[in-house]
Structure 1
Amino acid sequence: MLLDIQSLRHQYNKSKDAKCAINTLSLQVEPGILALLGPNGAGKSSLMRILATITKPTQGVILWQGQDIVKSPQLLRKELGYLPQYFGVYEQLSGIEFLQYMAGLKGLESSHAKSVIDDLLNKLNLTHAAHQPLKGYSGGMKQRIGIAQALLNDPKLLIIDEPTVGLDPHERANFRQLLTELAADRCIIFSTHIVSDVESIADRIVIMRGGTLIQSATADVLQQKVADKCWTLTVEPSELKQIQHEYIVSHSIRKEGKLELNLVADHCPDSKATERAASLEDAYLYFTSEQSASHSAVRIR
């Protein structure tokens, strides 16, 4: 393994009653794509800032290739690429000027930086916009220039926080393809709360809730864990509110004046419910829902 996280804990407020942003998290990361999945406030961004050596954890050990980066963060920084959730750019600069500036900050020699920047602009389909001001870039183009700056030093660990927020479906699909191409020889950790962004590309998915790691598995294994908890039920629209209170509703379709609901529950929720195949979204909602998915009684209508 390249990255070994041991008993990580973090509190922003040092009082005894303060809520933990990360609560005793342990995780081992191999080369490939690791997706952090969880709702807002799950602790994903806090974890990524710690791994990017921006925030020092309250407790715990993080080893990068056997070296403790909590005590010596510089050991990782030369091999680290980071794209935060809120990535600001100098909008008056062109794409190439911005990358030249970032390359200088990262200590790349100018002759080497030029060839690296040209290669990244080509790889990220930004060559045509290299001399355009960043203020004219679309959301997807700004994300790609953000990835380019993160890749300038050819990092062995690439950390990307909520990379697809604000992107349209086409840009999101292109971004997923890019991550797949980049994952061949490095560790990529990216966080999201959008399930569709991870199910086709992640080698492993970590689900977090309330600062705690609650699941770590492949998409297939996560779906298998809820395979016997997924149901379809057709109801009157007036029943929806009560059902949402009782069960996890992962999807709904209106058909001929009624609602066809996909439910997630430990037991059959209704005598007229039928079993269905589980999805990754079902697993995500089941493991992160604050309401109980367990109901022993069957609704009889």
Structure 2
Amino acid sequence: MLVVQDVGKKYGDFTALHNINLQFGNGIFGLLAPNGAGKTTLIKMLVTLISPTTGDIFYQGQPIKMLGQSYREQVGYLPQHFGYYKHSTPKQYLSYLAALEGMDKQTVASRIDEVLDMVALSDVKNKKMRKFSGGMIQRVGIAQALLSDPKIIVLDEPTAGLDPKERARFRHMLSELARNRIIIISTHIVSDIESIANEIIMIKNNVISYKDSVTNICATLSGKVFETTMTYEDFIEFRKSYVTLAEKQEQGKMIVRFVADEIAESFWKSVEPQLEDVFLVEYAHENTSGGNK
């Protein structure tokens, strides 16, 4: 069990996070918020890159600051931007990281082959990474996070650069791994986690706004999400009064998905709310142009 207890983080007068309380057991947890909301700050505290200003983080009942290296050995981490030497091969890169981590030399080669197979890079394990696409590099990053067979896997924007097929493979892999591990995925891409996360965590105004299952979070908008068809001119006026969630043009008309609290008009069609609907409503008035604190 990984427990975040009364954790806050300040940078001078700026409060990045305030009074965060979370518990993580085995499974997949989606940390969902726009850029600048505090996702990366929380992740960096979980992997001990920075320390909380207030509160503590505990693993198996012990403060991680006291566990030190023994805790870090249990953590696999993929940062949003990770460093690599472009003239090395995936096998060389992972061998280097294994040596830094002091992994057993007798098992390193087989483990490297195993994780490269998991991310579908076995056929290029001896090719220089300077020729790799962005998606292939990202898969190398995922492989390094899995290398030491960690009990806690923390991934910051892990699907950046992956194509739809690679994303599907990634989701399947995480579902398999999550049976006996804690997996925390920080992202602002709802589709990456909607179908696989046991719980979704949303951060707003430096605090936790949601920590629940996808089903329960979506139920908060039950009976409030609609679709209707209108002209483009009517749509321009319509969106001044309603939070629009999606729109598309079809046969000269606008099909609009939106949220409304009042009694539905007869020409509105009630639809099932999705996680992205909640995300858009929750952050409708947020300024998401900030950094990653």
Match of residue 254 from structure 1: 249
> Secondary structure at the residue paired with 2:239?
helix
The answer on whether the counterparts of 2:8 and 2:17 sit within 8 Å (CA) in structure 1 is: yes
Match of residue 290 from structure 2: none
The CA RMSD measured in Å over matched residues stands at 1.7
Match of 1:29, as an amino acid? F
Match of residue 288 from structure 1: 283
**Structure 1 runs of 4+ off > 3 angstroms?**
70-73, 268-272
The answer on whether the counterparts of 1:45 and 1:191 sit within 8 Å (CA) in structure 2 is: yes
Gaps of 5+ in 2: 287-293
Does 2:22 align with 1:4?
Answer: no
TM-score of the two chains, using structure 1 as the length reference: 0.90
Gaps of 5+ in 1: 292-301
Aligned with 1:42 (options 34, 37, 40): 37
Does 2:156 align with 1:157?
Answer: no
Shift of the alpha carbon at 1:72?
4.1
> Secondary structure at the residue paired with 1:11?
strand
Does 2:124 align with 1:129?
Answer: yes
Distance 1:110 1:76 in 2: 21
Match of 2:141, as an amino acid? G
Does 2:146 align with 1:147?
Answer: no
Alignment CA distance shift 1:269-1:40 (3 Å): farther
> Secondary structure at the residue paired with 1:160?
strand
* 1:194-273 correspondence to structure 2 within 5 Å: 194-268=189-263, 272-273=267-268
- Paired positions, count: 286
Distance 1:87 1:245 in 2: 42
Alignment CA distance shift 1:208-1:241 (3 Å): farther
Aligned with 1:174 (options 164, 169, 185): 169
* 1:29-108 correspondence to structure 2 within 5 Å: 29-108=24-103
Alignment CA distance shift 1:264-1:48 (3 Å): same
Higher RCO (CA-CA < 8 Å; seq separation 6+): 2
> Secondary structure at the residue paired with 2:240?
helix
Match of 2:123, as an amino acid? H
Match of 1:161, as an amino acid? D
Question: C-alpha deviations, 1:147-201, integer Å up to 9, x for none?
Answer: 2211221110000001112222222222212211221210000011111111111
Distance 2:178 2:205 in 1: 28
Distance 1:211 1:166 in 2: 28
Match of 2:79, as an amino acid? P
